[in-house]
Amino acid sequence: MESWANDPLFPLRDEAASAWAEIRDEHAPLMYASGFTIPWAEGADPSKLTLPDLEREYGSAPVALRPALIEYVWRREDIPKADRMAFLARVVRQDTSLNAVEYAGRFLSEALGAKLKPLAVRKLLEIWEQQKDTIE
C-alpha cells in the first residue's frame, strides 16, 4: 500500500495514500497490549537463547506469537541495545505481518527518539540507518 501511495505513476495514488494514512493511524493507538506469555517448550530456559537463536524462533513462530517475541527480545537487556534495535529494524523491513511491524516499529521509534507512528516504516528505517553506528 505504501509503495502505491508513493508511486507517481500509480493511477489510484491518492486513494492509496489515503488508505495508507488510515492504516498508519489505526495502528498507532496510545494503548497497546504487552506483557505477553510465550509458550516455551517444557524445561526450556529462554534466557539462555542468543539473539540468533531468538531470530530463528521468530522466523518459525506463528504470526500471533511474533509481538510477544518482539517484546521479549526488546526487554532482554543482556543483549546489546544496538543488536536488539537491529533486530527490530529487520522485523520492520521484512515482516509481512502489520501487527508485528507495528510492535517492532513502536519499540524502534521510541529507542530512536523518533516520535513517529509505528508504521512510518520508510522514515523509521531512514533514521535507523542514520543512527545505527552511534548506538552502543
Residues 6 or more apart whose CB falls under 8 angstroms from that of 91 comprise 58, 66, 70, 100, 101, 104
Given a cut of 60, whether residue 98 has pLDDT beyond it is: yes
| Cα 117 from Cα 26, distance rounded (Å) | 10
pTM: 0.75
Place of cell 527518539: 113
Rounded to 5 degrees, φ, ψ at 40 are: -65, 155
Between helices 81-94 and 121-131, what is the axis angle to 10°?
150
| CA gyration radius, the chain | 16
Of all residues in the chain, the percent with pLDDT exceeding 90 is 54
What value does the mean pLDDT take over residues 72-77? 95
Bigger pLDDT: 38 vs 19: 38
Q: Binning pLDDT at 50, 70 and 90, where does residue 31 land?
A: very low
Mean pLDDT, rounded, for 8-30: 64
